[in-house]
Amino acid sequence: MSSIKTLHRKRGNILAQLTKLSSKSLDNQSEFELHTTLDLLYDIKEKLEDIKQAYFEIDNDKEFKDVEPILYKIDEDIQDFQVSGKLLLYKFTEVDKFKHNNSSEHANNVRLPEIPLPQFDGQFSNWSSFKNQFHNLIENNPKLSDSQKLFYLNASLKGAAKQVQSSNDTYDSLLKAPTLRYENTKLIVDSHIQNIINYKPLLKENPAELRLLIDTLQRNIRSLEALKFERNNLVDILLIHLICAKYS
């Protein structure tokens, strides 16, 4: 059991810590500093509880009666300090929420450029790309009626692709028509390969022309890979040979 003098010293030490902590105004503290202060207050309160328990265990009633109001005053000061700190932290939280909501609202109100309607000109090599874009923008849009989708599909078909249209088309019938004609993996693959093989030779060393050749190769290769055709070392060798042949 601790002696009265030891308990008095511990009590004085706690009071000194509390006085030092409260000397810095909570209003001027950052959110991080408030968290730190509250953590320190929690530690001080735990130490005070231990000291109170030790005082309760002493046999000298007079000593306990003298110190009891002091202990409760310290406890009360700690609680008041904690409440003030938590209120300020709450304000920080509300400000953060307000900033976040305003930021989200501002982001939602940003006017993005309109996405152009995808177009299909009847080239097999362009079919897969058009189909994916049209399905994502129009077909899968629950806000559009079939009449609106039919209008957009008619507007999307250009050149040779318009030949699949008829005056009696519904949206479903017109959607099936180009699919039946152009959903032909063999012809699509042939079209991409022809785009690569038939690319015009480069007549002179021109970085821009070489960049265009490489872009064309990569675009058609990506389309073939999207059709589940794997790229391997042999393909890379052939492509390098093809580029060299076009560039010589």
Question: pLDDT of 98-129, one tens digit each?
Answer: 455 555 455 555 665 667 788 888 888 788 88
State the pLDDT at residue 101. Answer: 57
pLDDT in tens, 41-99: 888 888 888 877 777 777 666 776 777 788 878 878 887 777 777 777 776 666 555 45
What are the Cα distances from residue 224, in Å, to 4, 72, 216, 221, 232? 88, 80, 13, 5, 13
State the pLDDT at residue 44. Answer: 83
- Which of the two residues, 164 and 35, has the higher pLDDT score? 164
Torsion region of 168: left, alpha or beta (phi above 0 gives left; psi -120 to 50 gives alpha): alpha
3: pLDDT strictly greater than 80: no
State the pLDDT at residue 114. Answer: 66
State the pLDDT at residue 2. Answer: 62
- In total, the chain counts a number of residues equal to 248
**Which range (26-30, 147-151, 203-207) has the least confidence?**
203-207
pLDDT in tens, 184-220: 777 777 777 787 777 777 777 667 777 777 777 777 7
State the pTM of this model: 0.41
Nearest to 152 by CA among 118, 112, 115: 118
- 34 and 88 Cβ atoms separated by less than 8 Å: yes
User: Alpha-carbon distance 172 to 61, whole Å?
Assistant: 95
